Homo-oligomer: A and B are copies of this chain.
Amino acid sequence: MILSELLKSKRENKKLLLREVASMIDVDTALISKIEKGDRKPTREQIKKLAIALDINYSKLLKLWISEKIYEDVKNEDVAIDAIKLTLKRLKVEE
């Protein structure tokens, strides 16, 4: 499940309007709409607030958010998978 989809489905489950979520997050309604459409990425702070507003596990949401950042970095690259594996190796050496 993609981040934008998750946010939208969670909001709908809770029967909240974009307007209501927007006010909890302190942004314009249009921005929430865009986030749910995948047109804009939420900031880290917004992710935190969204987790609370929509009652989503923060760590899970953050993971998804970071994962999409990575995905954006690599999505059109031939070496995407290799590059990711390389990063994984590096992180494992460090820990």
Q: With A74-B91, A91-B74 given, is the CB distance from A67 to B86 under 8 Å? A: yes
Which chain B residue lies CB-closest to A60?
Answer: B79
Is B88's CB under 8 angstroms from A66's CB? Answer: no
B84 touches A84 (CB 8 A): yes
A70 x B84 contact (CB < 8 A): yes
Tell me, rounded to whole Å, the shortest Cβ–Cβ distance linking A18 to chain B.
26
Number of this chain's copies in the assembly equals 2
Chain B nearest CB, measured from A38 CB (Å):
14
Whole-angstrom distance between the Cβ of A5 and the nearest chain B Cβ: 13
The A50-95 residues at the B interface (CB cut-off 8 A) are 59, 62-64, 66-67, 69-71, 73-74, 77-88, 90-92, 95
Which of B70, B80, B81 is within 8 Å of A74, CB to CB?
B70
- Chain A contacts to B: CB under 8 angstroms: 59, 62-64, 66-67, 69-71, 73-74, 77-88, 90-92, 95
